[in-house]
Amino acid sequence: MGWRPGTDEELLFRITVKFATGVAPAVADSRWFRDPQRNDIQDELNGWPAGPVFAPHTTGDQAARRTRRGLLGAVQVIANVVANVGGAAGSPFGSAAGGEKPEEPENEVHDFPVMWAAPSTLARSVPWQLDPGRQPDGYHTDLVLTTRRMLFLGVQGDDLGNTNELAEYSRETISGAQKMKFSKSSADVRITFFDESWIRLFTGNPNCADRIVGILSGSEQAVPESMLTEGQHRRVAQFLSGHRDTTQRPVYIKLNSGIVFVEAYVPSKAGKDLVNAVGIMMDAAGEPAQPHPGDL
């Protein structure tokens, strides 16, 4: 049986995540685990198996990578023109860093920590399975937000019934989340714990990063599926019937006017680990609705 929320909580959001990867030339395809003195701490992490060791790329490596990225960008531009006929919301096409400038050059250009953690801090307790360089073949990790917890789940293959709970954190231990735009598809998010340690994750789509930030900050009111009306349940079932390849159940965001925004994610043809966001808005009866002033 797959994972289910506890009797004292309800599911709000679930997506596949993993540790992020650098996109700037010196740190491209790399990631590091650091303490506040920028020491590499991956050998200090309890129970972690050996993983890849990265070093900043040389000038020659950087030039070669820029050339390859330029060729890839030309292909993506053509794909983007085709894909945006009709304009799908949340499409992850674009440059590797989404056309954004680094917000923190020390952590995005010259170095790329995906864990920032002093000894005994919470970030050191996240599961090693989040690391793409350590994940078993055919394995992925999901981030789950419930009404009281953040969890990481491990899933073998496409069988959500073959799921293990890897780690859990009460919502009170999380002090904030920030979308990190200088990243692949602008889809990274940094989650900071109360002890100032943090992790940086890749979410597959910029909308996914927005949802994590919005739910954890309280700026978005995510509601559980159980709170939908009968008409809304019917509308969601109709919506999902046209998107049978959704990766998880949708997220439901109640806007200020009472309208519910429903967002789901489907695999993208633009690249591995990317997803497209699809959504609808509905009123209390489940009828199509438009946002009111102040909703967005």
The pLDDT, as a whole number, for residue 59 is 64
Instruction: Let me know how long the chain is.
Output: 296
SS3 153: strand
* Three-point CA angle 280, 283, 288, nearest 5°: 45
Residue that is written with structure tokens 């919502």 in the block: 171
Better-scored residue on pLDDT, 158 or 247: 247
Q: What is the pLDDT of residues 259-277, one digit of tens each?
A: 999 999 999 999 889 999 9
The residues facing 198 across adjacent strands are: 116, 192
How much is the pLDDT for 99? 74
In a domain, 271, yes or no: no
Give residue 97's pLDDT: 72
pLDDT digits (tens, 9 = 90+) for 108-140: 999 999 999 999 999 999 999 999 999 999 999
Domain count, the chain: 1
Who's near 184: CB < 8 A, 6+ residues apart? 20, 21, 23, 96, 97, 98, 202
Indicate whether 243 belongs to any domain: no
> Is 244 inside any structural domain?
no
296 is a domain residue: no
Lowest mean pLDDT of 62-71, 125-134, 161-170, name the range: 62-71
Tens of pLDDT along 188-237? 999 999 999 999 999 999 999 999 999 999 999 999 999 999 999 999 99
Would 255 be classed as within a structural domain? no
Domain membership flag for residue 108: yes
At 92, is the pLDDT very low, low, confident or very high (cuts 50, 70, 90)? very low
Rounded percentage of the chain residues whose pLDDT exceeds 70: 85
For residue 236, the model assigns a pLDDT of 98
**Residue-by-residue DSSP string for 233-287:** HHHHHHHHHT-TT-SSPPEEEE-TTS-EEEEEEEE-TTSTT-EEEEEEEE-TTS-
On whether residue 139 sits in a domain, the answer given is yes
The domain that holds 39 is classified in CATH as: 2.30.29.30
Q: Going by C-beta distance under 8 Å and a sequence separation of 6 or more, which residues neighbour residue 212?
A: 13, 143, 145, 177, 189, 191, 203
**Tokens coding 165:** 């709970």
Strands (E), the chain: 11-19, 32-34, 113-116, 139-146, 149-156, 163-170, 174-180, 188-193, 198-202, 221-222, 251-254, 260-267, 275-282
Is residue 91 helix, strand or coil? Answer: coil
Structural domain span for residue 88: 11-220
Q: What tokens does 112 get?
A: 């790329």
**b/e map 58-96, b = 16+ CB within 10 Å:** eeeebeebeeebeeeeeebeeeeeebeeeeeebbbbbbb
Residue 258 included in any domain = no
Q: What pTM does this model have?
A: 0.87
Please return the burial class of 232, using the count of CB atoms within 10 Å of its CB with bins 0-12, 13-18 and 19+.
Answer: buried
Tokens representing 260 are 């519910």
Return d(Cα 94, Cα 97) in angstroms, integer.
8
- Tell me how many helices (H) and strands (E) the chain has: 4, 13
Task: State the chain's mean pLDDT as an integer.
Answer: 89
- Distance, C-alpha 211 to centroid of its chain: 9
